Structure 1
């Protein structure tokens, strides 16, 4: 569930401020995108919903001037989705969900792959701005400030998704509460007798990975137990990963869990266990920081942190719709809860 509600409706705005499209949407009980479609005569909006929107407009004395200024009179119905890669299960699912929302609102969703390259990200965003796109959904690279400044200076409606940018107050952010998920997961792992935790990651400085590690460390500190934790930074080469893991697992004196920070590393881990002659979970447990589509097909079934991708996509699109419609409310940060799914790949014996 999201931990922060979206701004509410002002029931009698004439005594407080001018009504906004957000107020119309809230009073009518529909999305901002639906209000926009009704005003602009677009989209497949049912007659009952059209009636509710028109009634809300009349009740709130909404003139539509803000909408006319903020919508796409000078822009094309295109939204850019900027992500670091297309291999993450979460990114694939997120793209599908946002594509559904975009299509429903008569937008084209254009995916941009940055490959964690700050310059590539900046160049692609510049092209989106030059092509007069309507908005951007951004999962930024590690050094986000230059591209965020570019988006802000161009007045491009933007929502940051699933990667927290500290001290950023210009743009809405929709995130997963990774830290809380890993606090809960680690506490359970410790209860089941795990005394060594290895975190395998290709990008240890990413905010999501830092939150994961912070949650692990918090749970270890709270337990007061003698628990060893290691960050195994691995590159993009699977053979190198296998060698590094073999070195880490030479000490078999502790009950160990390997936490793989991506779907790719989860797959590599399973192959490495096989090559090293290790049984999962008898010899080593495995927990994935995201849930790949093949998690239940693996044997044993893969334990995962399941991110609320559908909820994340819905909220991100709603926030972006508000911004594209001219909404100028204060930026919000919304955190969604993840779910820990323990399955066969984690040993439960103490």
Structure 2
């Protein structure tokens, strides 16, 4: 099994870099324009793009371009917006990556990403912010507070870095070692970093980029209603809602953005979100013992769900240091799911992955005090 790896202490590699254009966020036409301005043949842009799409961001590793162009790339672009600080490997094959930013005053701030391999798919869970603008009390990321929005290049660079790592050291056994699906479910509220997230989705889907199907990209949001509407108009990827309660009084406590966009507004928004054929919206619901798993909570959730357009994904609460909550026992989770199913609602219990390395749902938080494993 791959081992946990401490790459380097951040202070050794995360030097303050000027705010240069970032290679992971450039398209072919933009690279061609750069080549022209650098008096390089246009076809060099496609060569650089091909390396980038393989996860190779260090110009010194781009063997079919000239030494002169490699130096130009290193001085005029921020080719590697992230530095891999640490990789941790779970007993179930899940990998967690800790990356350090290399951008101006944000140099040294850290984000976490997760690769979740299964037999027939490999999913990358990416972050959109350092910390989070929301403070949901059951989520470890929320205890970090908000520190920075990621750029489109920093969002895409997470995927490229993981792609390169998997090429160097594939997942062992029968688990998938290729990236087939992307979920915006890491650190941060994606729709609070709307412009960067929209741009990153476009880069992921573009045929000259990673060429990932819209059907294989999922964005999870706590319920920013105007932004959900715009997402449906601009980048209608798969949508997941961090619901966690189906009454305003309880959701105001668990998901504080509900105070601004209450359930009635969210319900109206979800009813018109564009869905491709045989697609549905996922309502994510972390079950907290004695908090949102009572009979009255079940009834409220049953009333909220639109069974024709939505399914419920029940999530085990993953503990973190200092948390005041306990997870609902697994037998009770299964009973909760069966009760929903009996009411004609599609419901599943999510299998928790990477819990032993704090990589499971709600456990991501960049710990800057740990640079070695």
Larger radius of gyration: 1
**TM-score relative to the length of structure 1:** 0.36
Structure with more of its chain in helix, by fraction: 1
**TM-score relative to the length of structure 2:** 0.35
